[in-house]
């Protein structure tokens, strides 16, 4: 078994060292943010939403669910699942987060949790999935997409570079006259 596979299996099977300190939401859908708000209220945890609903609408959703504004942070830097994690590592470190609950749709959880465990796990942050049922909105992701993003995450951990960004930059350079 290769070192990378050993690390992934070890990370995926870790037991919580401490209780979660934060709810991390890959935004974009109201049902995810509502579920995160309910978890936040139940466990009195802060919430960090990466991407997602407009800031005003998202705040309204959390307010309707009984979560105060001081418990909620939003970030709109991310354009995809890998960036949900890479753009917020500094903030997670600054907050001294060692364990987070990851909220996303059940259909997106395999990819999001794997990417999160690779990226956040490389910085000592444990990721515990807290999937929310997406019911009729589910769009199941292919194993190829999951594997491709896992590979992107590993490359990011090793190099600090997103291979997708590098490839797109090369395509743009090659396309110019």
141-165 pLDDT, tens digit each: 999 999 999 999 999 999 998 888 7
Predicted model pTM: 0.84
> What domains, with CATH codes, occur in the chain?
20-175 (3.40.50.620)
- 3-class secondary-structure state, position 73: strand
- The structure tokens listed for 79 are 């354009």
Q: Around 138, how many Cα atoms within 13 Å sit in the side-chain half-sphere?
A: 13
- Find where tokens 């009729």 sit: 136
Rounded Cα–Cα distance for residues 146 and 125 (Å): 20
Greatest C-alpha distance within the chain: 58
Give me the mean pLDDT over the 46-56 stretch: 87
Q: Which residue has the higher pLDDT, 72 or 15?
A: 72
Whether residue 123 is predicted with pLDDT greater than 80 in this model: the reply is yes
**Packing angle, helices 3-12 and 109-119, rounded to 10:** 110
Q: What percent of the chain has pLDDT over 90?
A: 62
Name the helix (H) or strand (E) containing 38.
Answer: helix 30-43
List CB contacts of 60: < 8 A, sequence separation 6 or more: none
User: Which among 76, 67, 129 is positioned nearest to 100, based on CA atoms?
Assistant: 129
Q: Residue 2: what pLDDT?
A: 47
């Amino acid at each position: 078994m290769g070192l990378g596979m050993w690390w992934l299996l070890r990370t995926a099977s870790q037991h919580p060292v401490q209780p979660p300190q934060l709810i991390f939401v890959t935004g974009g859908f109201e049902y995810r943010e509502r579920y995160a708000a309910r978890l936040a209220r139940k466990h009195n945890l802060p919430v960090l939403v990466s991407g997602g609903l407009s800031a005003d609408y998202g705040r309204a959703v959390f307010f309707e669910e009984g979560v105060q504004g001081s418990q909620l942070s939003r970030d709109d830097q991310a354009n995809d699942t890998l960036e949900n994690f890479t753009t917020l590592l500094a903030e997670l470190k600054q907050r001294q987060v060692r364990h987070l609950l990851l909220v996303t749709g059940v259909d997106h959880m395999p990819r999001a949790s794997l990417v999160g465990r690779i990226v956040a796990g490389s910085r000592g942050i444990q990721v515990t999935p807290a999937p929310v049922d997406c019911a009729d909105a589910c769009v199941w992701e292919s194993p190829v997409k999951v594997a491709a993003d896992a590979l992107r995450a590993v490359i990011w951990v090793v190099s600090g570079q997103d291979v997708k960004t590098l490839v797109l930059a090369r395509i743009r350079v090659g396309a110019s006259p």
